[in-house]
């Protein structure tokens, strides 16, 4: 493990962006934001609503911003929370613009030291608290909650699209968990808006900087990087940690240090959240385009609520749509591992794509750390199983990665793939010295 970890130290790179230099605001590419949730009890709908509100308030042309929320649990409570968030957004977005609010997650803003108490902010806070208190069950399922060519805020400014999606599932067909949900979002968004840039977010990872999309565009609009650039990854940062972080919940090495080293090679691995993708990267390598079977239904001046658009969206979200297709293998987010994030980034790098690590001084996103031992064990177990699936598959970094990525970059992925095995020496070191001491057996030479 020590040997493979040295690959992260060979060529580290630190980058800086200057989003204020971007001009021609109206010519920005369309941005589709994917937010995934699955369990309303482990992932409270209030958190999902806060995450959606934080990205709805981005400093980005509203007519080019669309937010898609995938609810794999099909929770009526989550749908109701988003419906309430859509109503509250009509007041929240103008408030952020008029007052220069940077922390645009309502829950984070109202609990921060930056919260300025006046009559206007007090009114908005009361509306937010009323919204949270109204999040109860609702007897609807799946619809467009906001349409940017129809819905306006209280200042008569059009709002971004907000679309709720709950895909069809069946015991007859595998659903592939989060990777399957993201591929459904890929297809549905292609039908509705077809934005060339995609941001993937976990439901508990809210935006902490409204200028983050512009920082990503600094790389996507660079013509020297564009031909081979697949995604721009931001670090995973968390709030609510104590200053010492005695439980190592921040994952600083994995989330902030190792990506700096990989950035000097092919680029950082995909971390599952806080990542801006180029849609084209999901359909073959830079020089080998895989033609998707979906034709975009987006037509100028045609609402995403049009019946034909909704019918196509329902069709591509059906449980049997991927049967006997290349989805998950040659197109979209990759199947074959529980850790679809590393698996997808690994395959994109093997196809010839590059990635960039964007690490601004102000965290782009802030998330929640697991609050109980049970949640930590479940999370680590899923990571360990998924990484070992990659390590012992035909796409093992030792062989497949070495051939496609070269020795140093392959070592980086080898370090991740075999990381769970590190538990064996750690466990021995945790128990053997104590047992030897109790039994009076020397473990070191005299």
Give the H/E segment covering residue 49.
helix 45-56
Q: What pLDDT shows up at residue 142?
A: 44
Tell me if 43 is assigned to a ligand binding site: yes
Domains delineated in the chain: 11-369 (3.90.550.10)
Is 263 labelled a binding residue? Answer: no
Note the pTM of the prediction, 2 decimals.
0.91
Per residue in 78-125, pLDDT tens?
Answer: 888 998 999 999 999 999 999 889 999 999 999 887 777 888 888 999
pLDDT at 355 over 80: yes
Name the catalytic one among 32, 71, 72, 204.
72
Rounded to the nearest 5°, which phi and psi values hold at 203?
A: -70, -15
72 marked as part of a ligand binding site:
yes
pLDDT of residue 293: 65
DSSP helix/strand/coil, 346: helix
Question: Is 39 among the residues known to form the active site?
Answer: no
d(CA 95, CA 53): 12
Q: What is the mean pLDDT of residues 61-87?
A: 90
Nearest CA among 50, 36, 8, 42 for reference residue 239: 50
Are the beta carbons of 408 and 265 closer than 8 angstroms?
yes
72 is catalytic: yes
Catalytic residue, chosen from 107, 153, 204, 341, is: 341
> In this structure, is the dihedral angle defined by the CA atoms of residues 107, 151, 135 and 74, taken in order, positive or negative?
negative
pLDDT of residue 144: 58
């Amino acid at each position: 493990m020590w040997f493979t970890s040295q690959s992260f130290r060979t060529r580290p790179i630190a980058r800086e962006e200057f989003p204020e230099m971007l001009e021609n605001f109206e010519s920005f590419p369309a941005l589709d934001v994917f937010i995934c949730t699955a369990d309303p009890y482990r992932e409270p709908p209030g958190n999902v609503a806060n995450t959606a509100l934080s990205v709805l308030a981005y400093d980005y042309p509203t007519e080019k911003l669309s937010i898609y929320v995938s609810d794999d649990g099909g929770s009526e409570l989550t749908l109701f929370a988003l419906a309430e968030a859509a109503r509250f957004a009509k007041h929240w977005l103008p408030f952020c613009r008029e007052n220069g609010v940077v922390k645009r997650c309502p829950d984070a803003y109202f609990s921060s030291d930056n919260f300025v108490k006046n009559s206007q902010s007090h009114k908005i806070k009361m509306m937010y608290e009323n919204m949270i208190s109204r999040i109860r069950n609702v007897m609807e399922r799946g619809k467009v909650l906001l349409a940017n060519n129809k819905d306006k805020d209280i200042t008569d400014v059009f709002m971004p699209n907000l679309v709720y999606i709950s895909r069809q599932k069946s015991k007859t067909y595998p659903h592939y968990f989060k990777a399957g949900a993201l591929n459904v979002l890929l297809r549905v968004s292609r039908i509705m808006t077809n934005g060339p840039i995609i941001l993937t977010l976990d439901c508990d990872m809210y935006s902490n900087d409204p200028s983050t999309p512009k920082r990503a565009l600094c790389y996507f609009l660079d013509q020297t990087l564009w031909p081979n650039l697949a995604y721009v990854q931001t670090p995973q940062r968390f709030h609510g940690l104590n200053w010492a972080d005695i439980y190592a919940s921040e994952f600083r090495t994995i989330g902030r240090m190792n990506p700096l080293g990989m950035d000097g090679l092919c680029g950082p691995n995909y971390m599952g959240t806080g990542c801006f993708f180029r849609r084209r990267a999901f359909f073959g390598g830079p020089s080998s385009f895989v033609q998707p079977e979906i034709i975009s239904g987006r037509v100028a001046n045609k609402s995403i609520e049009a019946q034909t658009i909704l019918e196509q969206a329902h069709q591509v979200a059906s449980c049997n749509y991927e049967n006997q297709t290349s989805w998950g293998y040659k197109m979209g987010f990759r199947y074959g591992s529980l850790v679809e994030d590393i698996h997808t980034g690994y395959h994109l790098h093997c196809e010839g794509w590059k990635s960039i690590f964007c690490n601004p001084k102000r965290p782009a996103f802030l998330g929640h750390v697991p609050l109980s031992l049970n949640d930590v064990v479940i999370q680590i177990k899923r990571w360990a199983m998924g990484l070992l699936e990659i390590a012992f598959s035909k796409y093992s970094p030792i062989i497949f990665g070495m051939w496609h990525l070269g020795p140093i970059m392959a070592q980086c992925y080898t370090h991740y793939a075999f990381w769970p095995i590190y538990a064996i020496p750690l466990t021995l070191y945790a128990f053997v010295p104590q047992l030897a001491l109790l039994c009076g057996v020397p473990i070191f030479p005299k």
